[in-house]
Amino acid sequence: MSELINNREYRQKALKEIILELHQGKSVQEVKIKFDKIAEGMDPAELSLIEQGLINEGLPLEEVQRLCDVHAAVFRDALEKNPELSVAPGHPVEVFMSENQALQKLMDKEIKPILGELQQASDAAGKTVALQLTGKLNLLWDVDKHYRRKEDLIFPFLEKYEITGPPKVMWGVDDKIRGLLKEAKGIAANYQSTQKQQLLAKMEETLTQIEEMIFKEEKIFLPMALETLSEDEWYQVLMDSDEIGYCLVEPKQSWRPSREDVNKDVTNLANEHSSVHVKFDTGVLSPEEIELIYRYLPVDITFVDKDGVVKFFSATKDRIFPRTRTIIGRKVENCHPPASAHVVEKIVEDFKSGKKDHEDFWIKMGNKYVYIRYFAVRDKMGSFAGVLEVTQDIKPIQAITGEKRIMD
């Protein structure tokens, strides 16, 4: 019997039968005893392959998605015994895992304590606590970028290897989490004392689903992807990640494939990139020159596209409002405190409608007098293309008196 138990083909057949029993209505407890007898030595990728096989055999995708958490619950004990993934620093998988750690820390250290406060808060104090929660949920929404990199960059490679079912199942769960998080944010932002239990219940479900996804990624999805994708494909994932952005933390260092000729290709690509020039109506510049111009402009610039997504910021030496690459891909309203988010939304709405073309603010910050300007960006046809934020310390300008000519 032992030789059968250790046979991967036999185990997969038995595991498939267990999953089908779950789909037929048996409880986790009923099938777990049977599962424990064959679980030893189970490859983390086997669950995904089994789900793929069931979908290929006609089990509806929606049904697999519906019981996705049950599958993970049955296999949890066996999967938790598997060693932690070990990958080089800066590898996309390491970045995903670092983001998961940051998400777990945000939930454990910041969000859950606020929920505890809300549970005990009086009706009068509840709105203030809910406002604090809204700010943390804006940070938690960074998980959207984590999921988008997974969906847009890794899933296509898996599909190339005919692994299509598990990504679709996971994408459906990702969308469920996005929906839960949006609902929780909506309740918290417009909190009424009668909604306390509704908000607490919604938050419990949201955090549980995010934690379950962390488990599925690290114990099932990422090991399976590591087994499947080549180094060249992982490098392509890495190269395309900046455009979407990162979740809560930035990669500490970059990773390169170990294959020698790949590294040569990387060097050649960098050389080719440096020789490319961008033609404007008023001149031609290299990418390096463009970056240097933004770096040395005496103002800080941030660009938000027409969909409200932060796409670019200038990395000046002494930025007034510090920025990190984690802001790239984030919705602009989530980059501002909850109390002022509605103001930002109104500005963008006025720009889109054509009611306004710019909006200015000025505030004192320590020894700085900060001038913040928002401009509607429109294309040649006049269509709304985004918002440009320009920030400058104008105190030195205000101190200017008299004249200083270039010949002086």
Give the integer Cα–Cα distance in Å for 246 and 146: 6
- Note whether 211 and 293 are same-domain residues: no
**Angle subtended by helix axes 338-353 and 123-140, to nearest 10:** 60
- Note whether 112 and 218 are same-domain residues: yes
Residue 341 domain-assigned (yes or no): yes
Among residues 279, 282, 313, which one has the least CA distance to residue 295? 313
- CATH code (residue 344): 3.30.450.20
- CATH code (residue 224): 1.20.120.520
Give the integer Cα–Cα distance in Å for 38 and 8: 10
Residue 366 domain-assigned (yes or no): yes
Among residues 172, 238, 173, which one has the least CA distance to residue 206? 173
CB atoms within 10 A of CB 283: 9
3-state helix, strand, coil in the chain (%, to 5): 60, 10, 25
Please give the tally of structural domains in the chain. Answer: 3
- Note whether 194 and 128 are same-domain residues: yes
Ramachandran area for residue 162 (φ above 0: left; ψ -120 to 50: alpha; else beta):
left
Going from the C-alpha of 278 to that of each of 172, 285, 287, 313, the distances in angstroms are 40, 5, 7, 19
Residue 369 domain-assigned (yes or no): yes
Domain's final residue, options 244, 266, 300 = 244
Strands 283-285 and 358-365: unpaired
- Note whether 99 and 217 are same-domain residues: yes
Residue with tokens 């689903």: 209
Name the CA radius of gyration of the chain, rounded: 26
- Note whether 240 and 97 are same-domain residues: yes
Exposure letters 355-394 (e unless 16+ CB within 10 A, then b): eeeebeeeeeeeeebbbbebbbeeeeeeebebbbbbbbbe
Cα dihedral sign for 71, 74, 76, 81?
Answer: negative
- Note whether 75 and 108 are same-domain residues: no
Domain's final residue, options 178, 213, 244 = 244
Domain's final residue, options 28, 56, 80 = 80
350 half-sphere exposure, CB direction, 13 A CA radius: 13
Partners of 283 in the β-ladder? 280
Going from the C-alpha of 385 to that of each of 303, 309, 336, the distances in angstroms are 10, 11, 21
- Note whether 13 and 112 are same-domain residues: no
CB atoms within 10 A of CB 60: 11
pLDDT tens string, the chain, 408 residues long: the values are 344 344 556 666 676 677 677 667 777 666 666 666 665 556 656 666 666 666 677 666 666 655 555 556 666 666 666 678 889 999 999 999 999 999 999 999 999 999 999 999 999 899 999 999 999 999 999 999 999 999 989 998 988 888 887 788 888 889 999 999 999 999 999 999 999 999 999 999 999 999 999 998 998 899 889 989 999 999 999 988 988 889 999 898 889 888 655 555 555 545 554 567 888 889 999 989 999 999 999 999 999 999 999 999 998 888 898 887 778 888 887 777 666 777 888 999 999 999 999 999 999 998 999 999 999 999 999 999 999 999 999 999 999 999 988 877
| Boundaries of domain holding 17 | 2-80
What was the pLDDT predicted at 2?
A: 43
Residue 275 domain-assigned (yes or no): no
Residue 221 domain-assigned (yes or no): yes
Contact by Cβ (8 Å): 329, 309? yes
Residue with tokens 């083909």: 9
Going from the C-alpha of 9 to that of each of 5, 15, 35, 166, the distances in angstroms are 9, 10, 15, 19
Q: In the 8-state DSSP scheme, what is residue 84?
A: P
Token pair of 25 as six digits: 């209505």
Burial class (CB in 10 A: 0-12, 13-18, 19+), 328: buried
- Note whether 149 and 237 are same-domain residues: yes
- Note whether 30 and 113 are same-domain residues: no
